Structure 1
Amino acid sequence: MENTDKKVNVVNSAIEINNDRIAGYEKAIEIVSGGDMQDLVPIFQKYKEQSITFKSELTPYVLQYGEQPEEGTNMSGKLFRMWMDIKSLVAPYTAQTVLDSCERGEDEFRDAYKDILNDALEDYSGIVDLLQAQLSDQQVAHQHIRELRDR
């Protein structure tokens, strides 16, 4: 694989996990809207917007090589959201179960970013600072979701 292709793949992997995070928070917003958990909507919206911002920061790194940013989500994210749908048919959601699902999604994001950073360190030092800053911001969000869940 050409070095440029690897760079684009690294950035598109980060964009894809952000797409998953956006879709996950959209699903969480859908679940908690209209019920007694509506106080979670602004929190979920904030973290959805955070990933939209992350994507907009990453996009120029793909465009500079004449490529297009990833628009899809990965299969594990799709399966996780489908599992959330099935679970809602079996048992009603509580704030804790929704927050638990969000916290697991944040775990996946963190782990994916760490893998992406390992790939980027070697061949794409220009993006490492941005990815580390985004991961740092995400870890604050992750901690917030965990604290809400554990209350």
Structure 2
Amino acid sequence: MNKDKSIVVLNNLIEINNDRIQVYETATIVTEESDLKDLFCEFQQTSKIFKSELAEEVQKMGGIPVDIIKKNSFFVRLWINFKASLINKDREDILNTLEYKEFVAIKSYKETLADNFDHLTAELLIILKSQQILLTAHHDEVKKLGDLCCLNKNIFSLIYFK
């Protein structure tokens, strides 16, 4: 195991979870539907837990966990909130965007595990694999909801325009 390489790998995954936290925070603002707000809060909480677990592992190795806070985060967040208030809050669009974001997170986890197998302990590999499995479940749930929206629109179109 290479500690320095492991720290870099874990910090990259911390960044991925920071991104997920921000994405789901924004999605919670954008949607007005309570079922989605609850789901997005749950997913946001999952990434906070993952981030905490990864930061703890980095600290055990003597590293410093990254906490990506952009210098202009206040202005970025203000812009996101403003934009969110103006855009069309279509359920299907929100879910499709989040499905893609989940896909990217899962892909990053898979690549990290594959590319760094020799640099991580068995314990870390188990932690990362379990996180990847839960992220995959989140992706599948978002995809299912998005597919259901699409199906409902198609059924409505068939009934309404027949």
1:114 and 1:73, CA in 2 relative to 1: closer, same or farther beyond 3 A? farther
Q: Deviations over 1:81-124 (max 9, x none)?
A: 989976975x5120000111111110110011011112331111
CA RMSD of aligned residues (A): 2.5
User: Which runs of structure 2 are paired with 1:95-106 in the superposition (5 Å)?
Assistant: 95-106=91-102
Unaligned runs of 5+ in 1: 75-80
How much has 1:69 moved relative to structure 2?
A: 1.0
Give the share of equivalent positions with the same residue, in percent: 31
Q: Which stretches of structure 1, 4 residues or longer, exceed 3 Å deviation after superposition?
A: 81-89
Q: Hey, what's the Cα distance between the residues in 1 that align with 2:61 and 2:8?
A: 11
Structure 1 or 2, whichever has the larger Rg, is 2
1:36-59 per-position Cα deviation (integer Å, ceiling 9, x unaligned): x23210000000001111112212
CA distance in 2, matches of 1:73, 1:98: 24
TM-score calculated relative to the size of structure 2: 0.77
What letter corresponds to residue 66 of structure 2 in structure 1? E
| TM-superposition CA deviations, 1:19-45 (whole Å, max 9, x none) | 11111100100111xx3x232100000
Relative to the length of structure 1, the TM-score reads 0.82
Give aligned pairs, total: 140
Give 5+ residue unaligned stretches, structure 2: 71-76, 149-162
